Amino acid sequence: MSRRKIWMLIAAISFWPGSLFGASGDTSTGIIKGTITIAGKPTQDVVVSVEGVAKEQAKALLTSKKTNKAVMDQRNMKFMPHVLSVVLGTTVEFPNNDTMFHNVYSKGGAKDFDLGLYPSGKIRSASFDQPGVARILCNVHPDMEAFVVVKEHPYFSAADSRGNYQIKNVPVGKYRIQVWHPQLGTTEAPVDLVRDGEVVDLNVDLKKK
């Protein structure tokens, strides 16, 4: 084959629609954001996630991140935050910043563990290696309660104090938005990202049961 024909072939491949330089390696992403309310009032006790993203895409984003760690504080006889969202494999630290002993345990959810009784100033931790929801309790203070929501993918966000959430780097496609609340359960809504760089606003009002 002549040199001129080789260059013509290369040019044709480069501009061919759906060639191996484009279709299979599409990296188009967008942002999904909004506000979660309960009967019109913003709530922060929710985890919003995008469900249906291909496992290969989620795995590629996860491998680019460092080892995951998170903190659930014990202060003023409360777990803070009340709802904590983490990705699978995250180690959560439970520092005791109260003046009394605390115990941290969970049973029957995403992770069964008991960190025992420990004093002020000490930190103990648990690693979450199964997806789901872990209800966090203290057997010394029964009013203390919190939740760790464990996801297999990185496309999730906990709402802030104004009920706002934002999920970045979502691949273009059609998915389900899933909103989880400790008392109201799970609510879903469809969402469609059409083009690269698109920002979709999706507000969800949860209904009291």
Choice between 10 and 2, residue whose per-residue pLDDT is larger: 2
Whole-number pLDDT of residue 26: 66
pLDDT digits (tens, 9 = 90+) for 142-188: 999 999 999 999 999 999 999 999 999 999 999 999 999 999 999 99
**In the block, which residue shows the tokens 């290369």?**
10
Whole-Å CA distances, 26 to 59, 170, 195, 197: 15, 12, 11, 13
Choice between 190 and 25, residue whose per-residue pLDDT is larger: 190
Neighbours of 148 (CB within 10 A): 26
Neighbours of 169 (CB within 10 A): 13
Q: Determine the distance from the C-alpha atom of residue 53 to the mean position of all C-alpha atoms in its chain, rounded to a whole number.
A: 13
Whole-number pLDDT of residue 12: 39
pLDDT digits (tens, 9 = 90+) for 54-102: 888 777 777 666 668 999 999 999 999 999 999 999 999 999 999 999 9
d(C-alpha 32, C-alpha 183), whole Å: 24
Q: Which residue segments constitute the domains of the chain, with CATH numbers given?
A: 27-206 (2.60.40.420)
Q: Supply φ then ψ for residue 56, to 5 degrees.
A: -65, -40
